[in-house]
Amino acid sequence: MSLLILLLIVVAFLLLTFSLHLFFTKQGSHTINYLLGFSFFARFFQVGVFLIIITSYTVLLPITHLFPIVQIIYTILYFGSLASSYLYIRCFINGEKYLKKSDLIHLVPIIFIIIHLFPYSLIGKINWEIIAKEIITGGQLSITEKLGVFPNILYNIVQLLFSVLYLLASWAVLFSSKFFSREWNINKKWMIFFISTSTFFKLLGFFAMVYGQGGRTYTNSLFFLSLCSIVLLYMLLFVIYQPQILYGYIVLSENYKVQETKVSVSTKNTSLKKIPNKEYVEWVNLLKNHVETKKLFLKKDLQMKDLSNEADLPAHNCSEVINAVLDKNFRDWINGYRIQYFIEQYPILKDNMTVEAVASQSGFKNMRTFYSAFKKETNQSPTEYFKNRMI
């Protein structure tokens, strides 16, 4: 038990530190950071609830006034974290920088729990000693003491339903995006670690509820305590000894060098603007190396997530470093390569191929995008450009 308490204290400290860092850091995508930070913050309060209860039982003291506050905050955050974890996984895998208007639907779980808890939890007579005992016996899903305006059986059913639906939705995002068929890299390793640990602890909550139905206490189970200790220790060691994950997704350090190998590539047609972060320049050079050597720009459906997988870099940072170093967005940068390729190929192929055919071969999906990109890159139309080259 003492080992578990020690591990929980360390985990709680790390969760709080990581979540606060993600909320305030200027590195990476703010949307991605906030979603992950919110999930960590909710987990911090979950561990806090457990620590308060288990510490009180260990030293044989009554539950303190701190427990009701932490429990209420955790309950609200938990319902919010179901959506934030799912949205984090979706945005991470699909390379989304911003949430959609339709994502407002994910406020439903939070609205439900706020209606349930307030104002009943503030004015109602709640026996927190019983709630603490039920949590330590069968977990959060086993609470029978009335905690809000809805009957507790309805609250538990809704909580279980939301948990299962969001868990299934998260795995559905992975399978529908063909995530497991992608090349094994740091992005894949991190996402599998994140969703696997989230799934494990949700299943653990279901196990605790079922185990406690027979009057047994899961915290007295040697198997449960050993399993939790092993998993928590594994999580700590995995993050600590995986610097690319620790600094690429959680800490987001601007001083961490993700790629030690120096890549020498041509900077023709792109101009680096002066920025204080050398790491950004290294990342852009690495991205350029993959785009140029593998001619990724010829793929009509090339997305940011495809490039991040190729370069083995965090997807949510790629867009930011391209904007910061090259002063272009991802689409304009890739279209610049396509225009240069078209300029090189058209004089060779014009006798046998139309402008439309060469533009399509250069990676453009339609002519409207091609003409717009050509004008932006050369300040001329294709006709004007090649006419001036002949003079």
pLDDT in tens, 220-239: 777 887 887 788 788 878 87
Give ∠ CA 247-252-253 in degrees, rounded to 5.
80
Q: Domain spans of the chain?
A: 2-250, 333-390
Residues 6+ apart with CB under 8 A from 334: 291, 297, 302, 363
Angle of helix 128-138 versus helix 66-94 axis, rounded to 10? 50
Cβ–Cβ < 8 Å for 4, 228:
yes
362 in Cβ contact with 298 (< 8 Å) = yes
pLDDT for the residue numbered 89:
92
Integer angstrom CA distances of residue 66 from 4, 7, 72, 87, 230:
21, 21, 10, 31, 29
Q: Let me know how long the chain is.
A: 391
Task: Tell me what the pLDDT averaged over the chain comes to.
Answer: 81
Question: What is residue 265's predicted lDDT score, i.e. its pLDDT?
Answer: 34
| Alpha carbons 360 and 340: distance in angstroms, whole number | 13
| Residue 182 phi, psi (nearest 5) | -75, 165
Q: What is the pLDDT of residue 75?
A: 93
Positions of the chain with pLDDT lower than 50, given as ranges: 253-276
Half-sphere exposure of 163 (CA within 13 A, CB side): 19
Q: According to the model, what pLDDT value does residue 257 have?
A: 39
Kindly tell me the number of DSSP H helices and DSSP E strands found in the chain: 17, 0
In terms of Cβ atoms closer than 10 Å to its own Cβ (0-12, 13-18, 19+), residue 73 is middle
CATH superfamily of 333-390: Homeodomain-like (1.10.10.60)
Q: Which option is the CATH number for 2-250: 1.25.40, 1.10.357, 3.30.450, 1.20.1070?
A: 1.20.1070
Q: What is the pLDDT of residue 267?
A: 37
Give the separation between CA 87 and CA 99, rounded to whole angstroms.
8
Placement of tokens 């390793």 in the chain: 189
